[in-house]
Amino acid sequence: MNFQGYPDREMMMRALADQIASELREAIGAKGRATLSVPGGTTPGPIFDILSGVDLDWSKVAVMLNDERWVGEDSPRSNTRLLRERLLRDRAGDAALVPLYADAARPEDRMDALAEGIAVHLPIDVLLLGMGADMHTASLFPGADRLAEALSDDAPILLPMRAEAAGEPRITLSAPVLRDAMHIHILITGAEKRAAIKRAEALPPEEAPVCAVLANATVHWAE
């Protein structure tokens, strides 16, 4: 794990947005297109705001979430809604959204169709992840019902996931899909998450799922 600390959040968001933009440009230059995967939650909003105004050929970028809460876009808990409001507008409005949600009662009902849509955009070129203080990343929660499957080397692309801390049912990219990304950035803020990521290094992924992607990741942190 590479740890990068910043004097404040604003500097971190600017620097990381710049880095993501140049990694996307590099991927587009090399193969004509790029895949960006991003988290939902409360932390990444400012990066989305900056990226949405960045000058790059967004029509060649596919954007997908790391994970989604199984709620419709009319819910304030919808990560897809966050993406539409903060990232997929302005210049980035030309990017293609790869869905992780479809209208159905349970994630299991749409899993195969959603995974098929994602498969053509793999591997991920630029992966931005968040992390909870319980060391979950994407929807790989400690104690989640299908965590062991999602961590295994032959895991499918997508899995439904249920955990007490998750609230509603979730759908998540599996650990091998996340780990295969060309560039991996984990964005965290505050003393509690800093302590958690240090603790995670010494724990197995069943207890600290973020470990599954830590080896090649850069952790970006500001107070």
Enumerate binding residues for ligand 6PG (CB under 6 A). Answer: 39-43, 66-67, 69, 79, 130-132, 137-138
Task: Give the E-state strand segments of the chain in sequence order.
Answer: 2-5, 34-38, 61-65, 67-69, 96-98, 126-129, 158-161, 170-173, 183-189, 217-222
Q: Closest CB to ligand 6PG among 132 and 205?
A: 132
- To the nearest whole angstrom, how small is the minimum distance from the Cβ of residue 11 to ligand 6PG? 18
- To the nearest whole angstrom, how small is the minimum distance from the Cβ of residue 207 to ligand 6PG? 16
Q: Closest CB to ligand 6PG among 28 and 186?
A: 186
CA-based nearest residue to 50, from 9, 86, 97: 86
- To the nearest whole angstrom, how small is the minimum distance from the Cβ of residue 81 to ligand 6PG? 11
Q: Closest CB to ligand 6PG among 39 and 107?
A: 39
Is the separation of the CB atoms in 215 and 205 below 8 Å?
no
Q: Which residues contact 174 (CB under 8 A, 6 or more apart)?
A: 149, 150, 151, 155, 156, 157, 158, 159
β-bridge pairing 67-69 and 126-129: unpaired
- To the nearest whole angstrom, how small is the minimum distance from the Cβ of residue 203 to ligand 6PG? 17
Q: Closest CB to ligand 6PG among 17 and 28?
A: 17
Residue nearest to ligand 6PG (CB): 130
